[in-house]
Amino acid sequence: MRFLNMPLAGAALLAAASSAQAQQLPAAATLSEMAETPLVRVNIAESLRTPPDEASLTVGTQAKASTAKGAVAASKAKTEKLLAAIRAAGIRDRDIQTQGLQLSPDYTYDRQPYGGAQQRLVGYIANNSVVIKTRDVGSLTSLLDGLTEAGADTVYGPNFSISDPAPLRREARVRAMARGVAEATEYARNNGYSKVRLLSVEEGTSYRGSDIVVTGGRIVSPMAPPPPPPPAPERDGGGIVAPGQIETAVQLNLLYRMER
């Protein structure tokens, strides 16, 4: 027995040479089968890009007072006003989470006659931040306006995501399998065989990209793409927020046997 040695990009043509090698292959591929026909392994990565359907924001308040108690009380008042505005915007309590509370001394520095500066305590600073999640991506600009009007001192975000990536991953798998058959069949026909039979499937880490992707990405697949989702309503007239698209992908390692 001998290997079929062919430098083909993206695939590895395999033939059985020993029982030790056979142990690394699927049980369905017996020694006799591997001796009769070569195997082809194809690695396929497939992704789908869709507009995000949820976004998260971290918003915070800051209050200063001459005493720690006063700073905490002032922070509480500002935070309660901010939370009321968040709820009025339609954010549910389960989508509101306190992220951090911080109380720190507030210093000033007095210049000295001989040069330098002397630190002096003038009060305390209380910070409070909450993380909120919204599924009304089309109204983000209005939400940001409402938060700042309600007294938010800091806003971080939005961070966009897909609430349920499972259907997208299923579609990506279907496309990856179709590409795998097409590519493996091409290798088979280039070597005198007419078709291939799937022996094993291994899926790598499925991931949801965090980068914002430009609309109109090309997906290489012999299958027709699904219809695009309807655009989000432009209730904000565009505003300062551009959701872009989120990438959801899978990676498959497929092993086929070439057949006559």
Q: pLDDT by residue for the chain (260 residues), tens digit each?
A: 333 333 333 444 443 333 333 344 444 455 555 556 789 999 999 999 999 999 999 999 999 999 999 999 999 999 999 999 999 999 999 999 998 889 999 999 888 888 788 888 999 999 999 999 999 888 888 899 999 999 899 999 889 999 899 999 999 999 999 999 999 999 999 989 999 999 999 998 655 443 333 222 222 333 344 444 444 444 444 567 778 888 889 999 999 999 98
Tally Cβ neighbours within 10 Å of residue 153.
15
Which of these, 192, 191, 183, lies nearest to 256 by C-alpha position? 183
**CA–CA distance, 18 with 67 (Å, rounded to integer):** 80
Which of these, 219, 217, 204, lies nearest to 244 by C-alpha position? 217
The pTM assigned to this predicted structure is 0.62
In the chain, what are the domain boundaries? Answer: 11-51+164-226+242-259, 54-161
Q: Which CATH superfamily is domain 11-51+164-226+242-259 in?
A: Protein of unknown function (DUF541), domain 1 (3.30.110.170)
Structure tokens at 21: 């090698």
Q: Which CATH number is associated with domain 54-161?
A: 3.30.70.2970
